[in-house]
Amino acid sequence: MALLNVLLGLVGGPQVPDFSSLEGSALDAAIAPLDAIVRTLQQVRAAIPIP
């Protein structure tokens, strides 16, 4: 997770949340940061030209 946070930080992406702090929170609150990460990774992938 730390490596993913470093790589996402290089492209200005969101940080992976600490899942231990999500206990007892609503599922929507836990999924929202993950959705942002997926969207960022999809945008990065779309920007990389495929030979």
N residues, the chain: 51
CA distance 51 to 34: 29
Domain ranges of the chain: 16-51
Q: What is the mean pLDDT of the chain?
A: 80
SS3 11: coil
Q: pLDDT tens digit string along 8-20?
A: 788 777 777 777 7
The answer to whether the CB of 14 falls within 8 A of the CB of 40 is yes
CA distance 40 to 45: 9
pLDDT band at 46 (very low <50, low <70, confident <90, very high): very high
The answer to whether the CB of 16 falls within 8 A of the CB of 33 is yes
